[in-house]
Structure 1
Amino acid sequence: MTYLRLLQHRAPDGSRSVILAEGDAAHILEGVTTVRELALRAIAAGETLAQAAKACPAGPAIDIAAEFAAGRLLAPIDHDDPAHLLMAGTGLTHLGSAEGRDKMHKAATSGEHLTDSMRIFLEGLEGGKPAPGETGQQPEWFYKGDGSQLVGPTDPFTMPSFAQDGGEEPEVAGIYIIGEDGTPYRLGLAIANEFSDHVTERHNYLWLAHSKLRQASLGAELLIGQPPENIEGTSRILRDGKVIWEKPFLSGEANMSHTLANLENHHFKYDLFRRPGDVHVHFFGTATLSFSDGIATREGDVFEISASPFTLPVANPLARAEARPVAVKAL
């Protein structure tokens, strides 16, 4: 099956455009400069995002692999005001995802001694795929930050000076926009690296919220239309140009203990997440972590994640910010 993908491009002169890709062919869309603009146009016209994209006059053909290599492809969604792009996610949502978390939290084995992680995973297995119209089991949920924390597909991950770890989480993210009447619209899916601090999380599970306040990246392609049931990918870490760790990962509903609809329902049930015009990036979780295999990352390492049916990877080098002491002043 061939999927339509939308990409955001920035030319050397700073001008922006939207690209429509289908199979190996791609061209610039005339008359639109951002995916958010195109999505709002589709909502106003009562069209799908694919219909709105195909209605745009076709501009020049473009080689997206070459543009990716040149660093001219952006994250496939953004907002003029970063405060109106919200990043959040759900964990323990994939078959097998409790294994790595339990390693981190020294899980007990059975019965009433199950860790909270294992309990919420098992509850998701039992109730995470409700029938249409029914409410399923509530998943684990976390907040990552606003649009200032979203980096492009080849940009560095800059962990804070105080971070104890910078670790990858290969995932699929749902991209959403809120209509004028408060209705959430799913624009599509993107591959993602939901970058986290696993050493901080391992120290105390109640520090999970701290461990998630990190940057995150999206692959350049926004997959639009019906989401694939099965997504197969590879996550790897390169150090000095050599692969030091590599592992396959699976996503899509066929490999999850929750439906996308159930995860979306439990996020957008809150009124504050249905503010007209806002953009949401929601990470759906993973079962694959290099940290669970004992990998300690270093500055300069490159996280590379690829997955079919996406044609481009997301590849981010690791950096560390300089320490900047914060002093609170009384007024």
Structure 2
Amino acid sequence: MLLSQITRPDGSLAVVVRAGSEAAILRGTASTYDLAQEAATTRRPIAAIIAERGMGEAVDLPSLLAEGRVTLPIIHPDPAHMHLTGTGLTHLGSASARDAMHAKLAGTETLTDSMKMFRMGLEGGRPAPGTPGVQPEWFYKGNGTTAIAPGQPLTMPAFAEDGGEEPELAGIYIIAPDGTPCRLGWALANEFSDHVTERVNYLWLAHSKLREASFGPEILLGDLPADVQGTSRIRRDGAVIWEKPFLSGEANMSHTMANLEHHHFKYDLFRRPGDVHVHMFGTATLSFADGISTRPGDMFEIEAPPFGLPLKNPLAKATAPAAATVAVHTL
């Protein structure tokens, strides 16, 4: 079962439930956030709440997506209470691309910090259930103001050196009134990053990740398949200039999802009741690692069969600000 949100002609939201090719508006539901809040508060399975409310008007979801009426599958009424975060070096094969980016000069350490982190995950990222394993690389991307709807441009800042895609899976969470993290489901995500900046020095990773991101268009309810096989591509002027399969799911990862979730939600800061979290779990596939330099106007496309409609976003670049630097005013 898949969940999405659309905008009605009057601008209000409607929640769409899809099973197979049949999609319909969920009755009595103002937003996915409200639906998730009820499920988290009552601890009832979300599928049971959906069955209780029932389906209303049927919709043509692909047509609505083409019209720009499919928005993010969940938003928070206050964007400051929606957190975009992620973990890296979590996938088998991801270290080779990252290691090449962070290669050190001859005569220094044999292993880069990236390779050391990847090895730690291989050795301690899959602990026994209920036992914490090694913590992964972790990064912060932004809040709800940097969450971009499917079909809308991912905009790199004027000062950015690069705007590159990262095809990933994201866990979608809401925090219950008692502080318990509750997973609503899983979605495709483009964890948009500046790989040129990151390559200069690994300590600039935090700068490279402070970018927009997109996820959706649909949320997959229930368990995540162990082996997710999808495709990531870039189109330029309508022609595919790069395409590659990407793998995810625990069968293709050095960490369990439970371990990655633990090391995010172990912080009190991330267990504030009512907050929404979109946590991205990493990738082993980057066009940048294959020498692709993206340009404004390029179209990113990410798809994987269990997750419904593909996630597409064009690349844009912000215009330079009037001033060269940001001046701080003294009060």
Give the counterpart of 1:184 among 167, 171, 181.
Answer: 181
Deviates more, 1:309-318 or 1:167-176: 309-318
Q: Distance in 2 between matches of 1:97 and 1:250?
A: 10
Kindly state the Cα deviation for residue 108 of structure 1 after the two structures are TM-superposed: 8.0
Which residue of 1 is the match for residue 329 of structure 2? 329
Q: Distance in 2 between matches of 1:251 and 1:109?
A: 33
> Do the aligned partners of 1:236 and 1:243 also contact (CA within 8 Å) in 2?
yes
Kindly state the Cα deviation for residue 111 of structure 1 after the two structures are TM-superposed: 11
Structure 1 stretches (4+) deviating beyond 3 angstroms?
Answer: 107-112
Which residue of 2 is the match for residue 282 of structure 1? 279
User: Structure 1 residue 149 and structure 2 residue 146: aligned?
Assistant: yes
SS of residue in 1 equivalent to 2:173: strand
Which residue of 2 is the match for residue 49 of structure 1? 46
Which amino acid in the other structure matches residue 244 of structure 2? Answer: K
Give the counterpart of 2:118 among 118, 121, 124.
Answer: 121
Note the residue ranges of structure 2 that are not aligned, 5 or more in a row: none
Q: Distance in 2 between matches of 1:156 and 1:115?
A: 34
Q: Distance in 2 between matches of 1:42 and 1:106?
A: 47
Q: Distance in 2 between matches of 1:195 and 1:280?
A: 17
Give the counterpart of 2:19 among 19, 22, 39.
Answer: 22
Which residue of 1 is the match for residue 172 of structure 2? 175
User: Structure 1 residue 233 and structure 2 residue 230: aligned?
Assistant: yes
Kindly state the Cα deviation for residue 125 of structure 1 after the two structures are TM-superposed: 0.7
Which residue of 1 is the match for residue 199 of structure 2? 202
> Identity percentage over the alignment?
62
> Do the aligned partners of 1:128 and 1:137 also contact (CA within 8 Å) in 2?
yes
Kindly state the Cα deviation for residue 228 of structure 1 after the two structures are TM-superposed: 1.1
CA change 1:204–1:297 in 2 (3 A) is same
SS of residue in 2 equivalent to 1:90: strand
SS of residue in 1 equivalent to 2:40: helix
Deviations 1:205-227 (A, max 9, x none): 10000000000001210001111
List aligned pairs for 1:1-331, cutoff 5 A: 4-106=1-103, 113-324=110-321, 325=323, 326-331=326-331
Q: Distance in 1 between matches of 2:125 and 2:234?
A: 32
- Paired residues, what number? 328
SS of residue in 2 equivalent to 1:249: strand
> Do the aligned partners of 2:40 and 2:175 also contact (CA within 8 Å) in 1?
no
Aligned CA-pair RMSD? 1.5
Q: Distance in 1 between matches of 2:81 and 2:41?
A: 20
Deviates more, 1:74-83 or 1:112-121: 112-121
Q: Distance in 2 between matches of 1:52 and 1:208?
A: 41
Deviates more, 1:184-193 or 1:57-66: 57-66
> Do the aligned partners of 1:145 and 1:214 also contact (CA within 8 Å) in 2?
yes
SS of residue in 1 equivalent to 2:126: coil
Q: Distance in 1 between matches of 2:40 and 2:308?
A: 27
Q: Distance in 1 between matches of 2:18 and 2:106?
A: 48
**TM-score where L is the length of structure 1:** 0.97
